[in-house]
């Protein structure tokens, strides 16, 4: 608290009260990424600066991706120096960067001021680039098949810490070296495939459960979408939830039509509760009621994710039961062959079982695709994000 009060000395009293109450000030110095444009205007107003200065800074942060106030050369030097002295731009420290798939999959490990770590994955395709970002360090949901769930919840991320992961991905894309023909991954092909230079999609499918950190997470959605700044279309954003029903109901009422994915993973309550403890609180019938209401209210199709575990939830009878459960619903199923997590006694469904499962669903009129995984060699695929074990030193980049 004292740290927070000290920090507030440089802010207007009204803004300081707002900042404390809304929980945006979680570090000992104000993180500009935690501020929406009106908050930035309030801060600058308190400093006696005109509102257009706030808009200039906002553009520098989210359009030009500038992370050093001194580099904001359209601002007077005195203001740049004040920003450098009294605020910070970002709180994530890049601790490790791993690449796979010839550099087209990139996984960053970030350390938070608390020492906790989170991971972010960037996947580059010829026609799009997708960032998979974390909303919490760790996760309290304890799903047995997931690496993140194994260590419990360490901390909620602030809006700025969620946004900053997208900005990292955007900078990676902006700073890509142009490829020569020799570096082309498909060397057999003579045609250079294009590579996007900016982020086109973002999925909240990294570490953590977004709806367990709803307010901060939603602020990050609004910031990333803001056409005056980062300008990512609502339909380019997808949130995945373990099935927190209050979050689904809340999302249905939000103004931005982002995509919703729900982790289902089993057509029956006994097995789902065994795999995902949250099912005891929100069993399948309750979850699907909320989903139907969501579809009725928004008229948007939802995706169901279904992780396939050999011999557990991948039998043809289970596919048939799943098809019955979802019959008539405006939905799509994304099958995800389980990605190995060390220390779990689970197995990944083999290709034949995956295809049979898909076949049963498609046969019954359920739209269904198998997710093509990226980054398994660097543990960057779905559910493999675990950071590093507590107590293990984090290797700092350049150290
Ligand atoms: N907490 C949210 C979002 C993060 S997990 C959720 O659970 O939906 C993103 C997706 O990865 C979820 O569908 C989750 O069930 C899936 N997942 C978790 N562990 C996995 C693993 N080891 N292999 C494949 N998918 C996994
Ligand atoms: Fe948390 Fe999602 Fe992993 Fe479950 S699958 S433990 S909700 S991150």
Query: pLDDT tens across 147-160, in order?
Result: 988 879 999 999 99
Ligand 2 contacts (CB < 6 A) are 139, 141-143, 146, 148-149, 208-209, 242, 383
Q: Tokens 């009621």 belong to which residue?
A: 289
- What confidence score (pLDDT) does residue 375 get? 80
Q: How confident is the model at residue 189 (pLDDT cuts 50, 70, 90)?
A: very low
Contact 37, 219 (CB under 8 A): no
- What confidence score (pLDDT) does residue 371 get? 86
Q: Phi, psi (5° rounding) for residue 269?
A: -65, -35
Could you tell me the CA-to-CA distances from 212 to 145, 228, 293, 301 in Å, in that order?
19, 28, 20, 23
Whether residue 119 lies in the annotated active site = yes
How does the average pLDDT of the chain come out, rounded?
88
- Percentage of residues of the chain with pLDDT beyond 90: 78
Report CA(222)–ligand 1 centroid distance (Å): 24
Indicate if the pLDDT at residue 12 is higher than 70: no
- What confidence score (pLDDT) does residue 257 get? 97
Question: Of 202, 210, 211, 336, which is best to mutate to test ligand 1, by the most ligand atoms within 8 angstroms of its C-beta?
Answer: 336
Of the residues 132, 139, 146, 382, which is catalytic? 382
Indicate if the pLDDT at residue 15 is higher than 90: no
DSSP state of 321: H
What is the number of the ligand closest to the CA of 303? 1
DSSP per-residue letters across 108-138: EEEE-TTS-EEEEEEEE-SS-EEEE--SEEE
Q: How confident is the model at residue 386 (pLDDT cuts 50, 70, 90)?
A: confident
- What confidence score (pLDDT) does residue 45 get? 98
CA distance 23 to 2: 15
Q: How confident is the model at residue 379 (pLDDT cuts 50, 70, 90)?
A: confident
Beta-carbon-side half-sphere exposure of residue 9 (alpha carbons within 13 Å): 7
Question: Which of 207-221, 326-340, 382-396 shows the lowest per-residue confidence on average (mean pLDDT)?
Answer: 382-396
Enter the tokens of residue 22. Answer: 């809304």
Which residues is 106 bridged to in the sheet?
A: 99, 122
Instruction: End-to-end CA distance of the chain: give it in Å, rounded.
Output: 33
91 CB near ligand 1 (under 6 Å) = no
Q: What is the pLDDT of residues 312-357, one digit of tens each?
A: 999 999 999 999 999 999 999 999 999 999 889 999 999 999 999 9
Q: How confident is the model at residue 118 (pLDDT cuts 50, 70, 90)?
A: very high
CA distance 179 to 79: 39
What is the number of the ligand closest to the CA of 206? 1
What is the number of the ligand closest to the CA of 382? 1
Question: Which of 92-106, 113-127, 167-181, 258-272 shows the lowest per-residue confidence on average (mean pLDDT)?
Answer: 167-181
Q: How confident is the model at residue 205 (pLDDT cuts 50, 70, 90)?
A: very high
- What confidence score (pLDDT) does residue 193 get? 59
- What confidence score (pLDDT) does residue 387 get? 72
CA distance 287 to 302: 13
Top pLDDT among 376 and 331 is at 331
What is the mean predicted confidence (pLDDT) over 295-308?
A: 98
- What confidence score (pLDDT) does residue 4 get? 33
CA distance 291 to 252: 9
- What confidence score (pLDDT) does residue 23 get? 44
Q: How confident is the model at residue 370 (pLDDT cuts 50, 70, 90)?
A: very high
Indicate if the pLDDT at residue 176 is higher than 90: no
- What confidence score (pLDDT) does residue 7 get? 36
- What confidence score (pLDDT) does residue 17 get? 38
Of the residues 49, 119, 164, 172, which is catalytic? 119
- What confidence score (pLDDT) does residue 388 get? 59
Q: Which atom of ligand 1 is nearest to the CA of 373?
A: 24
Report CA(339)–ligand 2 centroid distance (Å): 13
CA distance 398 to 198: 26
CA distance 292 to 301: 10
- What confidence score (pLDDT) does residue 11 get? 44
**Three-class SS state of 94:** strand
Report CA(81)–ligand 1 centroid distance (Å): 43
- What confidence score (pLDDT) does residue 369 get? 96
CA distance 183 to 177: 11
Q: Whose CA is nearest to atom 18 of ligand 1?
A: 383
What is the mean predicted confidence (pLDDT) over 268-275?
A: 98
- What confidence score (pLDDT) does residue 13 get? 39
Report CA(146)–ligand 1 centroid distance (Å): 6
What is the mean predicted confidence (pLDDT) over 365-372?
A: 93
């Amino acid at each position: 608290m004292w740290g927070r009060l000290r920090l507030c000395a440089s802010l207007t009293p009204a803004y300081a009260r707002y900042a404390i109450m809304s929980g945006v000030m979680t570090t000992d110095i104000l993180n500009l990424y935690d501020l929406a444009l009106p908050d930035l205007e309030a801060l600058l107003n308190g400093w006696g600066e005109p509102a257009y200065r706030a808009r200039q800074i906002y553009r520098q942060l989210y359009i030009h991706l500038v992370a050093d106030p001194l580099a904001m050369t359209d601002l007077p030097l005195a203001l740049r120096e004040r920003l450098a002295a009294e605020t910070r731009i970002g709180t994530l420290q890049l601790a490790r960067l791993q690449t796979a798939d010839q550099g087209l999959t990139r996984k960053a490990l970030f350390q938070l001021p608390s020492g906790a770590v989170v991971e972010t994955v960037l996947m580059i395709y010829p026609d799009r680039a997708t960032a998979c970002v974390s909303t919490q360090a760790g996760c309290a949901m304890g799903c047995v098949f997931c690496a993140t769930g194994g260590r419990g919840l360490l901390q909620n991320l602030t809006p700025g810490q969620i946004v900053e992961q997208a900005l990292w991905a955007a900078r990676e894309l902006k700073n890509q070296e142009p490829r020569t023909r020799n570096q082309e991954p498909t060397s057999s092909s003579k045609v250079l495939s294009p590579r996007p230079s900016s982020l086109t999609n973002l999925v909240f499918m990294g570490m953590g459960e977004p709806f367990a950190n709803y307010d901060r997470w939603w602020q990050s959605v609004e910031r990333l979408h803001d056409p005056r700044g980062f300008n990512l279309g609502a339909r380019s954003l997808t949130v995945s939830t373990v099935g927190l029903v209050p979050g689904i109901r809340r999302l249905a009422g939000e103004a931005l039509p982002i995509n919703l994915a729900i982790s289902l993973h089993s057509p029956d309550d006994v097995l789902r509760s065994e795999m995902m403890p949250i099912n005891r609180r929100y069993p399948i019938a309750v979850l699907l009621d909320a989903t139907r209401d969501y579809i009725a209210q928004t008229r948007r199709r939802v995706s169901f994710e279904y992780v396939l575990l050999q011999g557990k939830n991948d039998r043809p009878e289970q596919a048939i039961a799943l098809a019955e459960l979802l019959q008539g619903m405006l939905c799509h199923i994304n099958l995800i062959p389980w990605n190995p997590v060390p220390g779990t006694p689970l197995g990944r469904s083999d290709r034949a079982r995956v295809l049979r499962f898909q076949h049963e669903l498609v046969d019954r009129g359920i739209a269904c695709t198998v997710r093509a995984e990226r980054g398994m060699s660097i543990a960057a695929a779905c559910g493999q994000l675990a950071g590093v074990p507590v107590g293990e030193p984090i290797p700092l980049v350049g150290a």
